[in-house]
A and B are shown apart, each in its own frame.
Chain A
Amino acid sequence: MTLWQARVFNQSSLTLSQSYLQSVRRNPVQLYLPIAEIPVNIFVIFAMGGAVGFLSGLFGIGGGFLLTPLLIFSGIPPAVSVATVTTQVVASSASAVMTYWRRKAIDLKLATILLAGGVFGSLIGVILFDVLQSVGQLDLVISLSYVTFLSAIGGLMLFESIRAIRRRKSGIAPSARKPGQHNWIHGLPLKVRFRRSKLYVSVIPVVGLGAIIGFLGTILGIGGGFMMVPALIYLLRVPTNIVIGTSLFQILFTMAAATIFHSMGTKTVDIVLAMTLMIGGVIGAQFGARMGQNLRGDQLRLLLALLVMGVGLRFAVDLLLVPEDFYSIAIRKGAGA
């Protein structure tokens, strides 16, 4: 090799290493996710966690039903989004559970039986998740479920909050619910006494409710508090001062189980993504909670109802519009699928 040729090589090596270093410096906010196997903008993810945390603090909700769609729409693979949000829900419910624990506002017996159902439902959820992924219908089931549940619950909340606002404006006091009302659920066998909730009710609806919430939570990446709380109040007649603590306790441990099941089954829990979301989430939640104290309950519920319906509609649009690309590809392995 002549001297001249050697110089050509040295020059090219220099320009190459310089351009490479520049490209690294240009993207200082990119963070490579080890399980999703893609780089993401760390501030965008952090902001998403923060914004959803803010809303969850504002409305007193878990926020999974907002966070999972947000991640999916921003390009994180649906399987990774769902599994990772189950971990995030563990973090966001952990500190709240501790508060309710100190106030002794948890019916442990009721929560444990709900949890038994929840773990079972979660296990079935992960198995189904895997099956749906292999036949290529996971995205469809996630979208359809979001459309169904969010529009139904959002619609009910919207209806209820408008009625409450009208009632407040016209000055009519809401009629108090009569205690001791019974419905068909109270006629079921295998009754158990829950002293803390002052209930005597069959375990069948309790286990069933836990299983449904655990199943949906695992497939959709949501805690399910927005379904659990109304169900406990209206179906089982659990006193309102115990409902939230009990529901949070069940969600915390069901989602912990879902995280472990997803880690073992789908292998799509991304710990780096989860950590970024958690930190953004817990900070946002503090600001949300403070702001929420200055807003009226019925106004908050109206806003939340619109938000819930908006997310549902977004999924519906994707299902109904002619897709831009009819084809898609999927790799059958843990992540990136």
Chain B
Amino acid sequence: MIRFALCLAFAIFGASLSLAQEEASSKDLVTALSSDTVSIQSNFTGTEIVIFGQASDIERAPHAAGDFELAIVVEGPPQDITTRRKGRFLGVWVNREAERFRNVPSFYAVASTADIGDIAHRNVLDEYRIGLNHLNLAVSGVSNVPLSDRDDFRKAFVRLREESDLYSERETSIEFLTDTMFRTNIPLPANIPVGDYKIKSFLFNRGDLVSQTEQTLAVAKIGFEQVTFELAQNYPLVYGVLAVILAIFTGWLAGVIFKKD
């Protein structure tokens, strides 16, 4: 099934690429995904998404420092995430200060052809949020964190997200198949949040943004996982009663099976 879906995706990509070929002269950059949905089922342990593309007329000499550079950003749906710091209180380690980051991506991965700092000026990188150092980590107004420590919280936040594989920077991971065609793999870990992901590709020429594309990737639970999750979210009373009935039934069944007399 997966193999079939992938083959289909590549077939569609091939078709779209040959179409794109005709109008390539007007378009600098075309990209396609190996799949536009990621389905989470009971056996889900993570997967990866492959992004293919063609940047026409880039005349990129391999193994030489090119004038053209690429960056591809995969961004998950925004979330509010709280970062907390422990401190000692009456001899016990407890959470003391907290900083709330608003509307930060729940997943963020960037792949590029060169070190991110060398691709473009930092203003450009900040504007398009390319690279972990260029994310817009807005904090909520209420916070007990002293101003001097705010940067520590940002660093800790990014580090913890990196440790859980939800944020990553994959410099020079874009691989050229021909002079103009490229490909990169972005691993999606098992703990990825569900929702609509944005995949943005940027083509730079000597630090100037020449062209960009944007695609969406849907990460969704399907089948039993979806039904269970939606029941728990939308009909919590039914879900709770169902859990109780299931538990009592299991207990009763065990009592019947293992009855001693």
Residues on A close to B: CB < 8 A?
Answer: 1, 5-6, 8-10, 12-13, 16-17, 20-21, 23-24, 27-28, 30-32, 34-35, 37-39, 87-88, 90-96, 98-99, 136-137, 139-140, 144, 252, 256, 259-264, 267, 269, 271-272, 274-275, 278-279, 282-283, 285-286, 319-323, 325-334, 336
Contacts and interface: CB of A to CB of B under 8 A. Distances in A.
A195 B232 CA distance: 42
A272 B17 CA distance: 43
A32 B160 contact: no
A21 B5 CA distance: 13
B121 interface: no
A9 B225 CA distance: 33
Given A93-B251, A95-B254, A271-B228, A327 B6 contact: no
Interface in B1-57: 2-3, 6-7, 10, 13-14, 17-18, 21, 34, 40-48, 50, 52
Contact of A330 (B84, B106, B177, B255): B84
B82 A136 contact: yes
Contact of B252 (A12, A31, A94): A94
Contacts of A35: 228-229, 232
Interface in B243-259: 243-244, 246-248, 250-252, 254-255, 258
Interface of B: 2-3, 6-7, 10, 13-14, 17-18, 21, 34, 40-48, 50, 52, 79-87, 91-95, 98, 106, 153, 156-157, 159-161, 177-178, 181, 183, 185, 190-191, 193-194, 221, 224-226, 228-229, 232-233, 236-237, 239-244, 246-248, 250-252, 254-255, 258
A21 to B, nearest CB: 7
Contact of A334 (B10, B98, B233): B233
A1 B17 contact: yes
Contact of B2 (A20, A30, A87, A330): A20
Most chain-A CB neighbours within 10 Å: which of B183, B244, B258? B244
Nearest to B5: A17
A9 B81 contact: no
Contact of A327 (B3, B7, B85, B244): B85
A310 B14 CA distance: 62
Most chain-A CB neighbours within 10 Å: which of B47, B221, B239? B239
Contact of B83 (A271, A285, A329, A333): A329
A99 B226 CA distance: 37
A23 B45 contact: yes
A136 B34 contact: no
B237 A323 contact: no
A200 to B, nearest CB: 33
A244 to B, nearest CB: 16
Contacts of A8: 177-178, 181
Contact of A267 (B85, B86, B92, B233): B233
Contacts of A271: 228, 232, 239, 242-243, 246
A136 B84 contact: yes
Given A136-B82, A327-B160, A13 B92 contact: no
A316 to B, nearest CB: 9
Given A16-B34, A256-B244, 18 more contacts: A1-B17, A5-B177, A8-B181, A9-B13, A87-B244, A94-B248, A95-B251, A96-B251, A99-B255, A137-B94, A260-B243, A263-B240, A264-B236, A271-B228, A271-B246, A325-B160, A326-B86, A330-B84
B255 A95 contact: yes
Given A32-B190, A272-B228, A331-B81, A21 B244 contact: no
Nearest to B93: A323
Contacts of A261: 240
A120 B251 CA distance: 25
B241 A260 contact: yes
